[in-house]
Structure 1
């Protein structure tokens, strides 16, 4: 299809090139040959009168014009998808669709694992990609790089719809050989202890519990950090360290490891976990169907 002298099919190629910054990866995403993608890039360069992608060392970088095109091109793609999908009936049994989730390993373990199990039977043609949370989670949602984001309510964007999935509390996790007076933990013991904590992103963004501690002026002695909630119970085994983590995840690991799950010796706010998606996809039938499935799974999590 053409708009004037511009082939609208090139918009999809342009979007892939701007996102991947690679002819090879763009071709893989589009399921076409690298030569066809290279040819399309040539036509795009001719149309815009700009190189768009230039070689810098071993990698390709976007020109200033290409950088300025990223958001509007992505917006066109998202709006087109929403418009085309709005009139189509979604049949999960026959659908061939890729959904990208932005979620922590905690959300992956507790929520997305049972979801993927359900999809295996209900929608075998659906492919699920899960990318970890980081510094640019909201930006990924804005650009349409991910279909859904699962994160604490406080991290959600006010510009896009969201649904609360579940509430979570925090508990302390210690090795079964941890030295505790009377078998219980008090606040003094907690503050004297050495801790393991989870941090994420290029800026080592603190988790909800670490943020709460810092906000209330309580400084813990954190001696080990990891970019994974699932790693925390493993890192306390055989040590006198303490991990403060999601209660559901802690109880799961207590069935597998020599650890104890104890109440935190202080009040902590409940974590509200939400599902968020781009507002342009609010009425897309495929998104609506999967949102309902995610909510159904969340209701069954105990």
Structure 2
């Protein structure tokens, strides 16, 4: 098919070249020979009257014209893909579809077990690929690499719809044999103590880390970790503090010698949201997926409330 004398099949090749910046890797992904893809690139260069990709050292770089084209090409392909693959209905008990969901290990630990249990109880035959969050979560949607993001609302893209899942507050966890566990936590002792801080892989700052920086609260960071879940474990046997999600603290404290303490200062609650591509709002499969996540939140909170009552 051609549009303005451009073979639209070439856009698939162009998108792969833009993403992978390698003729050999793009050819492998598209199941083409390198010579065939090189021929496609030559035709694209002729059509756009631009090199598009140029060799710089050992890798290929996009030209300024290619940078302008990159997002537009991806947008066109995502729109075509969602239109063609959209099914008029969805039956989770008959489908072999795989949903790609980007989540943090906090969400993985507190919400996803309930979600997966519900899916199994409903007789679902779909598959789930739980993927780590990226530096720019919105790009995941733009590029069609994920079906759903579960992220703090502050990290959602303004260009795509999102829906609130739940609110989360934060607390501190300390080793239950520490001085802080015995003496309690004040703003002074919070500032003086060593801290375990989670630095999300691929992202600049976690929600709580950004709050601390923006409100001018200085902490003596002694340990950085890439896992929310690990932060609670890393205070064991030490005088350190980890500032963590309350739901996560309640969950891990059931099996660890930890004491949960309230923060010595007020902290903004985090709104955890789910977000999907604007072209897929009416996708029956995603409607089912989003509904199941909301049901999982209800089950999660019932379990957390029971644990909280025992803790209190």
Instruction: Please give the TM-score of this superposition, normalised by the length of structure 1.
Output: 0.84
Kindly indicate whether the alpha-carbon contact (under 8 Å) linking 1:161 and 1:278 is maintained by their aligned counterparts in 2. yes
Using the TM superposition, give the Cα deviation of residue 37 of structure 1 relative to its aligned residue in structure 2, in angstroms: 4.2
Counterpart of 1:225 in 2: which secondary structure? strand
Using the TM superposition, give the Cα deviation of residue 248 of structure 1 relative to its aligned residue in structure 2, in angstroms: 1.5
1:17 aligns with 2:25: no
Using the TM superposition, give the Cα deviation of residue 12 of structure 1 relative to its aligned residue in structure 2, in angstroms: 2.4
Kindly indicate whether the alpha-carbon contact (under 8 Å) linking 1:105 and 1:132 is maintained by their aligned counterparts in 2. no
Kindly indicate whether the alpha-carbon contact (under 8 Å) linking 2:181 and 2:259 is maintained by their aligned counterparts in 1. no
Using the TM superposition, give the Cα deviation of residue 55 of structure 1 relative to its aligned residue in structure 2, in angstroms: 2.9
Partner of 1:157: 157
Alignment size in residue pairs: 299
- For residues 22 and 101 of structure 1, the distance between their equivalents in structure 2, rounded to whole angstroms, comes to 27
- For residues 164 and 181 of structure 1, the distance between their equivalents in structure 2, rounded to whole angstroms, comes to 34
1:177-225 deviations in Å (ceiling 9; x for gaps) = 21137453233322221111112356x6232222222333321222222
Using the TM superposition, give the Cα deviation of residue 77 of structure 1 relative to its aligned residue in structure 2, in angstroms: 1.4
Using the TM superposition, give the Cα deviation of residue 117 of structure 1 relative to its aligned residue in structure 2, in angstroms: 5.5
Distance 1:34 1:299, change over 3 A: farther
Of residues 156-165 and 100-109 in structure 1, the stretch that sits farther from structure 2 once superposed is: 100-109
- For residues 24 and 164 of structure 2, the distance between their equivalents in structure 1, rounded to whole angstroms, comes to 39
1:205 aligns with 2:168: no
Using the TM superposition, give the Cα deviation of residue 116 of structure 1 relative to its aligned residue in structure 2, in angstroms: 4.7
Partner of 2:272: 273
- For residues 126 and 41 of structure 2, the distance between their equivalents in structure 1, rounded to whole angstroms, comes to 31
Kindly indicate whether the alpha-carbon contact (under 8 Å) linking 1:196 and 1:224 is maintained by their aligned counterparts in 2. yes
Distance 1:53 1:283, change over 3 A: same
- For residues 129 and 137 of structure 2, the distance between their equivalents in structure 1, rounded to whole angstroms, comes to 17
Partner of 1:82: 82
Return 5+ residue gaps in structure 1 as ranges: none
Partner of 1:109: 109
Return 5+ residue gaps in structure 2 as ranges: 302-312
- For residues 223 and 154 of structure 2, the distance between their equivalents in structure 1, rounded to whole angstroms, comes to 25
Of residues 3-12 and 241-250 in structure 1, the stretch that sits farther from structure 2 once superposed is: 3-12
- For residues 25 and 127 of structure 1, the distance between their equivalents in structure 2, rounded to whole angstroms, comes to 26
Instruction: Please give the TM-score of this superposition, normalised by the length of structure 2.
Output: 0.82
Partner of 1:288: 287
- For residues 176 and 40 of structure 1, the distance between their equivalents in structure 2, rounded to whole angstroms, comes to 64
Partner of 2:188: 188
Partner of 1:263: 262
Kindly indicate whether the alpha-carbon contact (under 8 Å) linking 1:103 and 1:133 is maintained by their aligned counterparts in 2. no
Counterpart of 1:219 in 2: which secondary structure? coil
Kindly indicate whether the alpha-carbon contact (under 8 Å) linking 1:194 and 1:242 is maintained by their aligned counterparts in 2. yes
Partner of 2:308: none
